[in-house]
Amino acid sequence: MSILGLKKKQPKTFKVKVSTMDAEMEFSCEVKWKGKDLFDLVCRTIGLRETWFFGLRYTVKDTYAWLKPDKRVLDQEVPKDSPITFHFLAKFFPEKVEDELVQEITQHLFFLQVKKQILDEEIFCSPEASVLLASYAVQAKYGDYDPNFHKPGFLAQDELLPKRVLMQYQMTPDMWEEKITAWYAEHRNITRDEAEMEYLKIAQDLDMYGVSYFSITQNKRDTELLLGVDAQGLHIYNPNNKLSPNKSFPWSGIRNISYSEKEFTIKPLDKKKEVFKFYSSQLRVNKLILQLCIGNHDLFMRRRKVDSIEVQQMKAQAKEEKARKKVERQILAREKQMREEAERAKEEMERRMFQLQDEARMANEALLRSEETADLLAEKAQIAEEEAKLLAHKAAEAEQERQRLEVTALKTKEEKRLMEQKMREAEQLAVKLVEQSERRLKEADHLKQDLNEAKDAERRAKQKLLEITKTTYPLIAAYSNPPPPAGPESPEMAIEMGNPIQMDFKDSDMKRLSMEIERERLEYMEKSKHLQDQLKELKSEIESLKLEEQQQAGVYNLRSYAEPPFIPPSNRNSAYMAQMAFYEEV
């Protein structure tokens, strides 16, 4: 390579920024590039093949213009800014979107542009149609409605309705969202491209869809009108009504369109009809109108011809792509369904596992509680068994005690009966003893009486003896004993002195009386001793029974029975003792 070739200057370039409906791109373009070169670069970049619908639009002063493909970029009236800004937009609109739009990218760009025109109120849309279109836009953006994921308020950041519709009704954003969500929930299993196509199908029936409006005048008196250019033809509107045209010229009924500076002429195909003329004040606008008319007419004629090989290939590829995507969607739907079923089964298994874990935990807790309860019951059973044994032992002891008490009661009754019998015998004996005592007292009284009589007789005998002695032995008496003092003992002394005489005087009577008294005294002493022994034995038995009854808690109160009256022997024998003393003295 020569040195001159190395030093060759690089071509000059300029910066271009192209904004599509969903992206911005910057390119470095050569100075010699024409509009077609830049347009083809953009189409290749975004993968667009249906290029005849689109163009690069730029702003010139108060209006806009489309970049001409057969003229260099810099030679046109483009802005002198760096980078130069272009908008990649749909220049022409199809008559039937489902038949003419083949590629998904084409469909998507149309969807975004039409949606923006509706929200910016460049296309009039009723409130009902706006809500329905918004629901398809939500379906295209978010996919199928899921109440678990799409919570209330998930559309708060999205612009879905025109401001005119929002201001027309006194409804809160939440109420609008509720209406949109109600429609959105019905679009289940609709893919993004299908939702966008449904959106465009509804939008293409709107009156202002695909219409480009221009201000014109019909005559020199400057009667203001609006010219509408779309895929169907040309339409004349009143300035205040863009929905219903006053006149329409379909492309099939137009023979020729021409303009000379500011004047436009529309020649109908039917020569009998009047030629329509209108005026436009700006030459740039006139050129734009002519471009749109030529482009829409060409597309109109193209739709009525057999598709070119390129279009047929594109449609075949699009059909294959749609079939492939449909199969993929079906597979994806099946996989999604299977995944959802698997997730549901997994959730069910997890729920069941958690439930089983809870049941196992509860069963373990119940088992622990049952084991604790079993241990407690076993302990209680052991305690109860021990208590039962203790109670059985106590019951046996109580039974033995009851039997012993019954035996004791029987024995006590028998002893009581015997004791009562003995007490009755003792009472009878006591009564007999009292009777005998009384009888002995009476006998003692008789004996005392007899003794007094005997003493009287003895005294009389002593007096007689003294009288005899005084007369017979006066000297012996005087010599032997001086005269005793006066007192009660003097007769006794006289008796002692005359004892041989007394013994000689009544010897047989005194012996008999002394023997009888001694015999009775001995008998009475023997009976008295025997009675005292019986009384002592009875008293000891009574005391032993009292002690035994008090120890067995079945005490019989024997104190109510009075002991037989005990007459002291000294009182009983006092008479006998007096008699004995007297006889001993004698």
Between residues 439 and 234, the one the model is more confident about:
234
Number of domains in the chain: 4
Are residues 187 and 293 part of one domain? no
**274: containing domain:** 212-305
Lowest-confidence pick of 123-127, 133-137, 433-437:
433-437
Are residues 296 and 326 part of one domain? no
- Give mean pLDDT, residues 318-323: 82
Are residues 197 and 260 part of one domain? no
Are residues 262 and 149 part of one domain? no
| pLDDT of 351 above 50 | yes
- Give mean pLDDT, residues 297-307: 86
Q: 201 among the known binding-site residues? A: no
Q: Are 505 and 457 in contact (CB under 8 A)?
A: no
Are residues 249 and 317 part of one domain? no
Q: 71 among the known binding-site residues? A: yes
Are residues 168 and 40 part of one domain? yes
| pLDDT of 136 above 90 | yes
Q: Are 494 and 466 in contact (CB under 8 A)?
A: yes
Are residues 474 and 358 part of one domain? no
Q: Is 523 contained in some domain?
A: yes
DSSP 30-67: ETT-BHHHHHHHHHHHHT---GGGEEEEEEETTEEEE-
Are residues 192 and 87 part of one domain? yes
DSSP code, position 556? -
Q: 69 among the known binding-site residues? A: yes
Q: Is 371 contained in some domain?
A: no
CATH of residue 243: 2.30.29.30
Are residues 275 and 150 part of one domain? no
Predicted confidence at residue 481, as pLDDT, reads 47
Q: What percentage of the chain has pLDDT greater than the value 70?
A: 84
| pLDDT of 486 above 50 | no
- Give mean pLDDT, residues 424-452: 78
| pLDDT of 7 above 80 | no
Q: Please, which pLDDT band fits residue 584 given cuts at 50, 70 and 90?
A: low
Q: Is 127 contained in some domain?
A: yes
Q: Is 122 contained in some domain?
A: yes
Name the residue among 208, 210, 209, 202 with its Cα closest to residue 128: 202
Q: 70 among the known binding-site residues? A: yes
Q: Is 286 contained in some domain?
A: yes
DSSP code, position 75? T
Are residues 314 and 231 part of one domain? no
**End position of a domain, from candidates 156, 184, 203:** 203
Q: Please, which pLDDT band fits residue 498 given cuts at 50, 70 and 90?
A: very low
The Cα–Cα gap between 264 and 236 comes to 13
pLDDT tens readout for residues 369-428: 888 888 888 888 788 788 888 888 888 887 888 888 888 778 777 877 888 888 788 778
| pLDDT of 472 above 70 | no
Burial of 216 (0-12, 13-18, 19+ CB in 10 A): buried
Lowest-confidence pick of 170-184, 210-224, 367-381, 502-516:
502-516
Are residues 568 and 550 part of one domain? yes
**End position of a domain, from candidates 305, 322, 340:** 305
Are residues 62 and 164 part of one domain? yes
Q: Give me the residues paired with residue 63 across strands.
A: 60
**End position of a domain, from candidates 305, 327, 348:** 305
pTM of the complete model beyond 0.75: no
